Structure 1
Amino acid sequence: MARKYLLAPTLIATLVSANSYAAVQSFDARSFAMGGIGASTADYLTATFHNPALTARYGEDDDVGVLIPSIGAQVDDSEEIIDKTEDFSDIYDRFSAITSPTEQDAQLVIDALEELQSNRANVQANVSLAVAIPNEYVSVNMFIKAYADAFIFADIAEDDLNTDKLIENGSLTSQALTMGVVIAEAGVSFAKSYKSSHGTFYYGITPKYQQVTTINYVTDIENYEFDDWDDDKYQTEESNINLDIGFAYHMNNGFAFGLVGKNLVKNSYETSATKGINGEYVINPTYIASASYNHRLFTVGVDVDLNEAEGYDSIAGTLNAVDTKADNKQMAGIGVEFNAFDWAQLRAGYQTDLSDNLADQFTAGLGLSPFDTFHIDLSASYASDNELGAVIQTSFTF
């Protein structure tokens, strides 16, 4: 069981090694603790990850903000497929060592394969850094971040589930796959505000450079090791320019609304071909709507993705058909924050995937901000013992 909890750090280590980049999604600790909301509630330092317009939402005493860094990871493995796939090699080695295997020996292998069939796991990790300079002319937020998203599944051959054929052949044709993406971005958000008698209107834009590395790790199921996914032969890299645009309106009575369009230029990326298997990953435009109530002592809000983020659009060459919609995501979240006079914050939230691919999760977190200068934020999510996540973040505001 311990291996599974080392997967996220492995992904994070990979992201840190690419520390000059950024990603599509981010695990900002405050947002993560509040059910993933942020399009109308983010502060000027983390606005670039949620709504570039809010880069221009700052206080009179705010001059510079530095986020160094935000690090987070999340594992969704309710069926424990990662551990079971890695453990399968031991089961198969014992079977192979038997000179004259019986039906009972073969059945142990088949039972282990059937436990893996049709199951999948999802692992995500993120590293983000930002420097924000708010001002009355054009507020600026420069950021770099990296985001990894991988799913693991077993591609089981029908013949491997037949006792007689397994004894006769003695070998397997089933395979295990890790398919995913590491998306790295570097960009700058520019934002302005316009005050009216009823509130303030914010608008912003984020041009960004993206480097997209697709992952297509395929191996015989008896030889699967999750850590091998980062071998260069399983990866391809492409780069492009993309764009986010955001709007927000904060009323004087505390109500606020936000609308964001992310990755407005649609791009698709072909994986390398491994054992005859290849896929196409898509980054499509996504749109988020948000509403919140913001008070000096508390904030409550809701964010809803208006469409799905597509992920892998096609996967060809597998033994069994793969549901390419199973990695789509369309998140909706609700969250609340209680603020103790800018010295400490208590947060909680709930998030669901409208695509019904990820489990619903509860989120919570704590922030400490002495003198409103140094900030440390911790947050966590929980859906079950094998579906959880955590984020740690430090920042300075001057």
Structure 2
Amino acid sequence: MKKFSGSQIRFCRVALLNALICVPFTTLAASNYFDARNDAMGGTGVASSNWGTAALANPALMTKAPVESHVDIILPSAGVQISDKDKMVDKIDDVVDTVDRYQDVINSLPTTSFTTRPTLASLAELQRLNAQVRVAAGDMADKLRDLRNNKSQGKAGAALAVTVPNETLPFAFVAKGYGTVSLSTDVNQGDIDYLQQIADGKRIPVRGDEDRLTSSATGLAAIVADYGIAMAHQFDVAGHPVSVGVTPKIQQSWLFNYKAAVYTYDKDDVTNNQYRKDDTGFNVDAGIATDVGENWTLGLSAQNLIARDIETKEVNGFKDTYQIRPLVTGGVSWHTDRLTTAFDVDMTPTKGFKTEGDSQYAGVGAEYRLFDWLQLRGGYRADMKSNDKNVVTGGFGLSPFNNSVHLDLAGSAGEDKTWGAMAKIGFTF
């Protein structure tokens, strides 16, 4: 079996960086992977994943491969979900533009104050400039008011997997990554008061006064990439088949902490290397699954069994800690030749940056195989801690050429202008 090349195992990081930079800034699924089939079914998969994607959700399910199967390749699976209720990214861009206009007007003022007899311009010119300054200051004050308590978040993920089934020890080479970005503001009421005083004509600005403005914006980003080998085996427990899977993995993380004045903030700088801190460690995923009768499957997965705390760089007096914690999820699936239903629930919370709230998800979904080559899917996922948006999910799968090629597409939509898109291409030989 050919192993991943150096360029292939870097795919997840490159794809995530591009996604996080190119889209506007809610966290996505409870899992740390993206699979269009599972995501279309409400983010389920612990008991309902196909054997070819089992290494991503529950490695124990790799033992369910048909006898005639030889290898399954995911190349790749990827997705993104965004929530920007207040259009915060656009607002910050507008503030920066407004600041530029304000500074242009301030810089055009004479070096003396308005109370001094003008020497470089006529009184009419000073009055015109004064009016422009008041308008620009009022515009800035309004935009800062609109930015208060705003927050935007996004998440992206990508995965590659090569699964080789056999009766004794099915295994898979896995490379997967997930990234999160959050953007928040700290608007100083003193800035608003100062600008409003200028707009109302109660304060006379002079050059350099704009430097007193202290409102800031903070961008936090985390990218975690896992490179591992998943293995599974089916045991006979008191005459009942029970499958167990484990995925030891190398875990790399890149954390970004960017804090700057809101007036000079550039979202593209969030992933600048000067704000980055790297870390490499070891972790492990595990899972268990068993069939009950002909139509029921029970599953339990545990991702990142080794807890890790990773600190960001300190930037402008601020730093945060990214928390990697065990995520235990239980699932049940009922299935026939045409219909699969699934229900998953997290038994532990999903954590991230320490300054942000935890989430704990429950999802329900179904897949109906309309034809051998067409599958229709739908579901719903909710955050039981109410820190993330609840979403409706849906999608479809195409598997032509005797199911040797798989194309899965999914989307999600929820409150507060939350949307997501996922895609997966796979091959079975």
Q: What is the TM-score with the length of structure 1 in the denominator?
A: 0.88
Task: Tell me the distance in 2 between the aligned counterparts of 1:10 and 1:162.
Answer: 43
Three-state SS of the structure 2 residue aligned to 1:162 is helix
Task: Tell me the distance in 1 between the aligned counterparts of 2:156 and 2:195.
Answer: 43
CA contact (8 A) 1:56 1:193 kept: yes
The match for 2:99 among 84, 89, 92 is 92
The percentage of aligned residue pairs carrying the same residue is 32
Q: CA deviation at 1:245?
A: 1.3
Are 2:397 and 1:367 equivalent residues in the alignment? yes
- Bigger fraction of residues in strand: 1
Give 1:133-148 correspondences, 5 Å limit: 133-148=164-179
Q: Where does residue 319 of structure 1 map in the other structure?
A: none
Instruction: Provide structure 1 residue ranges, at least 5 long, that are not aligned to the other structure.
Output: 1-8, 17-22, 314-323
Task: Tell me the distance in 2 between the aligned counterparts of 1:221 and 1:166.
Answer: 20
CA contact (8 A) 1:15 1:147 kept: no
Task: Tell me the distance in 2 between the aligned counterparts of 1:325 and 1:336.
Answer: 32
Cα deviation, 1:239-269, whole Å, max 9, x if unaligned, reads 1000111111112331111111111110011
Q: Where does residue 310 of structure 2 map in the other structure?
A: 269
Mean alpha-carbon deviation: is it higher for 239-248 or for 153-162? 153-162
Three-state SS of the structure 2 residue aligned to 1:38 is coil
- Corresponding letter in the other structure for 1:117: R
- Corresponding letter in the other structure for 2:149: S
CA contact (8 A) 1:10 1:227 kept: no
Are 2:377 and 1:347 equivalent residues in the alignment? yes
Q: CA deviation at 1:177?
A: 1.4
CA contact (8 A) 1:146 1:183 kept: yes
Q: 1:341 to 1:194 in 2, by over 3 A?
A: farther
CA contact (8 A) 1:291 1:303 kept: yes
Q: 1:164 to 1:123 in 2, by over 3 A?
A: closer
Instruction: Provide structure 2 residue ranges, at least 5 long, that are not aligned to the other structure.
Output: 1-13, 22-29, 107-129, 199-204
Q: Where does residue 13 of structure 1 map in the other structure?
A: 18
Cα deviation, 1:155-189, whole Å, max 9, x if unaligned, reads 21231121368745323211111102000110011
Task: Tell me the distance in 2 between the aligned counterparts of 1:149 and 1:41.
Answer: 26
Are 2:230 and 1:189 equivalent residues in the alignment? yes
Q: CA deviation at 1:27?
A: 1.0
Are 2:163 and 1:132 equivalent residues in the alignment? yes
CA contact (8 A) 1:254 1:295 kept: yes
Task: Tell me the distance in 1 between the aligned counterparts of 2:327 and 2:59.
Answer: 14
Alignment length, in residue pairs? 373
CA contact (8 A) 1:339 1:345 kept: yes
Q: CA deviation at 1:372?
A: 1.1
Are 2:366 and 1:336 equivalent residues in the alignment? yes
Are 2:256 and 1:215 equivalent residues in the alignment? yes
CA contact (8 A) 1:12 1:127 kept: no
The match for 1:251 among 280, 285, 292 is 292
Q: 1:173 to 1:194 in 2, by over 3 A?
A: same
Q: CA deviation at 1:104?
A: 5.3
Task: Tell me the distance in 2 between the aligned counterparts of 1:210 and 1:288.
Answer: 20
CA contact (8 A) 1:159 1:166 kept: no
- Corresponding letter in the other structure for 2:220: M
Cα deviation, 1:297-320, whole Å, max 9, x if unaligned, reads 01111111112122112xxxxxxx
Task: Tell me the distance in 1 between the aligned counterparts of 2:308 and 2:314.
Answer: 19
The two structures, once aligned, show a CA RMSD in angstroms of 2.3
Mean alpha-carbon deviation: is it higher for 292-301 or for 102-111? 102-111
Mean alpha-carbon deviation: is it higher for 195-204 or for 345-354? 195-204
Give 1:303-342 correspondences, 5 Å limit: 303-313=344-354, 324-326=355-357, 328-342=358-372
Are 2:39 and 1:32 equivalent residues in the alignment? yes
- Corresponding letter in the other structure for 2:266: E
Q: CA deviation at 1:220?
A: 1.6
Give 1:293-312 correspondences, 5 Å limit: 293-312=334-353
